Amino acid sequence: MISSTAVTASLLPESPRLTAQLSKTNLTHDLVLASGALAVHLLPDDERGLELFRTLAMRTGHEAPKLDDVSAVAGQTGSPILQDAVAYAEARVAATHDGEGSTIIVADVVAGARDRDRDGPVLTIESVRKRLPPEWAEEWARRLEEELAAARRQR
């Protein structure tokens, strides 16, 4: 899935943590809570990154597997590590906070890497908004509306 928020959450370099906000409507939410682990990826700001965005953001894993056509390997926690990512951090869930329509995850980083061969810019939501083809933008808007409606029902 594409998370709207994932940031560092520790002041201590010897004890890195991250936080991620996961929508309760996404299968990834349930998988992270069940497994106690997740991986956060930075996607390349190129056509492949945009394709990965479409794959991960515009449909739900409840309907069909999303990673079947994505090159990934299992990380230390068993979380999928996307081979086309610029960088990743893999972490184990340390705490959760209920945010009604989402869950805020605090997780201890156990592994991570940056692909030096892909040392270019990373995909941001601003870049996505500028570059999405119109039909993808419509698809994303529909998916977002479904997610927002589900979150409103949980309030």
pLDDT tens readout for residues 3-49: 767 888 888 989 999 999 998 888 999 999 999 999 999 999 999 99
Name the residue with tokens 């940031």. 7
Cβ atoms of 108 and 90 within 8 Å: the answer is no
Least reliable range by pLDDT among 8-22, 81-95, 101-115, 135-149: 135-149
28 contact partners, CB below 8 Å, separation of at least 6? 1, 22, 38, 61
pLDDT band at residue 132 under the 50/70/90 scheme:
confident
Residue 73 CA to residue 135 CA, distance in Å, equals: 31
Q: Express each pLDDT in 45-66 by its tens digit.
A: 999 999 999 898 887 888 888 8
